[in-house]
Amino acid sequence: MPNNRYTMWFLEILQAEKGACHKMNLNIVCIPGDGIGPEIVAEAKKVLDKVAQKYNHSITYKDILMGGASIDACGEPLTEEAIATAKAADAVLMGSIGGNTSTSPWYKLPPHLRPEAGLLKLRKSLNLFANLRPAYLYEELKAACPLRDDIIGSGFDMMIMRELTGGLYFGERSTKEVDGVLTAIDTLTYNENEIRRIAIKGFEIAMKRRKKVTSVDKANVLDSSRLWRKIVEEVAKDYPEVTLEHMLVDNCAMQLVKDPKQFDVILTENMFGDILSDEASMVTGSIGMLSSASLNDTKFGLYEPSGGSAPDIAGKGIANPIATILSAAMMLRYSFDLDCEADAIEAAVKKVLEEGYRTIDIMPQEEGRRAEVTQVGTVQMGDLISERI
């Protein structure tokens, strides 16, 4: 019976559609942290909840303490119990940690008990060696970009791939008297395996982008950089479609403000990546816009805004939640393979910017252009984005 066949066909389509948007349960650990952290994480959760509702997923959240909040409650920046809770999750969403380094009592503590030590311990314990920091100039935010129009041109879009569990951050260090003179030592160590695994991630990402890798080092001075260059060149042989160039880190710092358009993937070690990613974020207009993902070899990741805890504006309701919201989008994409849902968040952010809503950090620099946009606070920005999912 043609009629029956038609019904069967229709049922098959329904079945296929059900399979395509299968319901997921996302087990997420949140680290609200210090300063503006709790405010911006709350907005990211609001947006995630909207996505879950719209796309029929469920989310289980669990909070853990880290940084100053954990020092105050537990006497240390990250407890073993908190690490175990994070490890048991599918992904971690973090706000920010730390306080004012000159005035906060946390910075009177020995270094291993300060807020940042918690984050470093978490990165190391979860083996989060690959840190992705996209720096992208939104068309709508050109007026907030400190570079001249002729430098900005048609905008730029780069991905900083920073090694996150090696180098100076995790080398041996000490402060002692040498011949009666107080002397501090930090050591920068990389082995070939650590370099190879981050290089592979860098080339893999480049394959999905414009297929160019700029490997940044200081090979004219450092042995660790010379090994870096050698291993990156070896890895490059497996990616013939990708153009590899090497750049010294001081030159890279200059090129980022001189001609940021030239970059696609910047691949670099821990300390250089820390410094260059702050610089790259500033040329996009605001660090409040930039998300980041820290990944290991599985689907697990820690997602956090690139900016810090901004203690000066904490509790004022003016912090930009967009970087955290975009980090939640990265989480959906990288840890859960939910590309449609991630796209929906990114599109909602773009829409809100197009409609002229701005937090204070992304207001146009020129007085005359401020009247063209509407300044909003943290909660309002979260509401606007969530409404557009």
**Residue 341 binding Mg ion, by CB under 5 A:** no
* 138 flagged as catalytic: no
- In the complex with ligand IPM, the residue whose CB is nearer, 140 or 269, is 269
Rounded distance between C-alpha atoms, residue 185 and residue 335, angstroms: 38
343: annotated active-site residue: no
Residue 119 interface partner, choices ligand IPM, Mg ion, none, CB cut-off 5-8 Å depending on type: ligand IPM
Rule CB under 6 A: is residue 269 a binding residue for ligand IPM? no
The pair of three-digit structure tokens given for residue 181, joined into one six-digit string: 């003179």
Alpha helices (runs of H) in the chain, residue ranges in sequence order: 2-20, 37-55, 68-74, 80-88, 115-125, 149-152, 192-207, 223-236, 249-258, 270-283, 322-334, 339-354, 378-387
Q: Who contacts 383 (Cβ-Cβ below 8 Å, separation ≥6)?
A: 46
Dihedrals phi, psi of 376, to nearest 5 degrees: -130, 165
Shortest approach of ligand IPM to residue 284 CB, angstroms? 15
Closest to ligand IPM by CB, 304 vs 341, is 304
Residues touching ligand IPM: how many (CB under 6 A)? 4
What is the closest distance, in whole angstroms, from the C-beta atom of residue 31 to ligand IPM in the complex? 13
Nearest to 95 by CA among 382, 388, 389, 384: 382
39 contact choice in ligand IPM, Mg ion, none (CB below 5 to 8 Å, kind-dependent)? none
Spatial CA neighbour of 118 closest among 188, 73, 167, 65 = 65
Least Å from the CB of residue 277 to Mg ion: 6
Nearer to ligand IPM, 119 or 362 (CB): 119
Q: Among this protein's residues, is 278 annotated catalytic?
A: yes
61 phi/psi in degrees, rounded to 5: -105, 145
**140 interacts with Mg ion by CB under 5 A:** no
Determine if 140 is a binding residue for ligand IPM (CB under 6 A).
no
Is 198 a binding residue for ligand IPM by CB under 6 A? The answer is no
Within 265-294, which residues bind Mg ion (CB under 5 A)?
274
Question: Applying CB under 6 A, does 78 fall inside the site for ligand IPM?
Answer: no
In DSSP notation, 117-185 reads: HHHHHHHHHTT--EEEEEEE--GGGGGG--S-HHHHTT--EEEEEEE-SSGGGTS-EEEEEETTEEEEE
* 6 to 14, 20, 185: CA distances (angstroms): 12, 21, 76
CB 307, min distance to Mg ion, A:
9
Q: Which amino acid is present at 67?
A: G
The residue annotated as part of the active site, out of 61, 278, 351, 383, is 278
Which position among 186, 223, 238, 250 bears the catalytic label?
250
339 is catalytic: no
| Shortest Å, Cβ 99 to ligand IPM | 11
Contact at 8 Å (CB) between 121 and 83?
Answer: yes
- Please select the residue that binds ligand IPM; options are 52, 78, 94, 119, rule is CB under 6 A: 119
- Does residue 34 belong to the site contacting ligand IPM (CB under 6 A)? no
Q: Least Å distance between CB 129 and ligand IPM? A: 13
Question: Does residue 116 interact with ligand IPM by CB under 6 A?
Answer: yes
| Window 80-99: residues binding ligand IPM (CB under 6 A) | 98
Of 97 and 319, the one with the shorter C-beta distance to Mg ion is 97
- Confirm or reject binding of residue 266 to ligand IPM (CB under 6 A): no
What would the DSSP string read from start to end of 277-312?
HHHHHHHTS-GGG-EEEEE-SSS-EEEEESS---GG
Token look-up 């820690």 returns: 302
CB of 306 to Mg ion, least distance (A): 7
What's the rounded Cα separation, in Å, for the pair 118 and 303?
15
Q: Is 348 in the site for ligand IPM (CB under 6 A)?
A: no
Alpha carbon 377 to its chain centroid, in Å, reads 22
| Two structure tokens written together for 75 | 């006497």
Nearer to ligand IPM, 151 or 275 (CB): 275
Of the listed 90, 217, 274, 361, which one is catalytic? 274
Query: Considering the complex, what minimum distance in angstroms separates the CB of residue 268 from Mg ion?
Result: 13
How many other C-beta atoms can be found within 10 angstroms of the C-beta atom of residue 374?
13
Active site residue 312: no
Binding ligand IPM by CB under 6 A: which of 34, 163, 269, 274?
274
Question: What residues make contact with ligand IPM under the rule CB under 6 A?
Answer: 98, 116, 119, 274
Which residues are known catalytic residues?
A: 169, 218, 250, 274, 278
Chain residues binding Mg ion by CB under 5 A are 274
